Amino acid sequence: MIWDLLGMAILVTGGSSGLGRAIAERFAIDGNDVFVNYHSNDEAAAEAGAAIAAAGGTPHLVKADVGTVEGVREVVGVVREHTDRLDQLVHCAAKAINGPLLDLDPESLRESVILNGLSIVDLIRESGDLLGKGSVVFYLSSRGGRFVINEYGALGTAKALGEHVVRYLAKELGPRGIRVITIAPGAVDTTALRSMFPDTYEERLAASAAANPLGRGVEMDDAAALVEALCHPGLEMVNGQTITVDGGLSL
């Protein structure tokens, strides 16, 4: 690219594994502050921190539940201890539960909707003046936010909500020069996918790859590369959109 990512600070929720980690590592260069929020897996977080450091970034691991306002405030508090600006805020954290909506535990369903669909509002509100002109907020969605996938209702409906929340936030934050964008990758081999479909995830990934017009499945770095590209100041008019990364499969 004809610009660089030096001197930036990025917060990635759910950044200890999967797409979140891929994005965090993408920005881990030349001492950039990379704040990785995670909920429970200390081992995965330590591995992500080591990978960020090896790539040249400065990792900050923050264990907290961003599905609660208190957890969001804890994360943002740590960020404020190290920087006075966030150039990117990436919301990847998700509560992965599967099954028919009517069969799900009611409390778990509500937790999924809040974390996956609404907590981005809390993250932006609590970040306050850390976000300024040129900052970009990314929300990670999925195909299930637009299409019905069997036993994916908890995530799918929450992602659909999150995508529309992004549109409203883009209108609200535009006057401050802050953009909000949804990235919606196709099926990717992540811990969340494996936990939701432990018996069929390999079959699902193979089927997606076989049907893809480009002849392969979606990889984590495909989404991470798009996040990096959209931070370019020359793309400031891309705002409030849901951008699909699936090689044309959903066409």
Q: Which two tokens stand for residue 134?
A: 């040129």
Instruction: State how beta strands 88-91 and 136-140 pair.
Output: parallel
Q: How far, CA to CA in Å, does 236 sit from each of 10, 26, 165, 224, 251?
A: 18, 20, 19, 18, 26
Active site residue 152: yes
Read out DSSP for 84-143? S--SEEEE-------S-GGGS-HHHHHHHHIIIIIHHHHHHHHHGGGS-TT-EEEEE--G
Longest Cα separation, the chain: 51
Say which amino acid occupies 103. D
Of the CA atoms within 13 Å of residue 21, those in its CB half-sphere come to 20
What are the φ and ψ backbone dihedral angles of 185, each rounded to 5 degrees? Answer: -75, 160
Neighbours of 14 (CB within 10 A): 27
Contact 10, 24 (CB under 8 A): yes
> Could you say which of 133, 139, 152, 168 is catalytic?
152
> Could you say which of 159, 168, 171, 201 is catalytic?
159
Q: How far, CA to CA in Å, does 99 sit from each of 58, 95, 160, 190, 203?
A: 39, 13, 17, 18, 18
Contact 41, 17 (CB under 8 A): yes
Q: Please list the active-site residues.
A: 152, 159
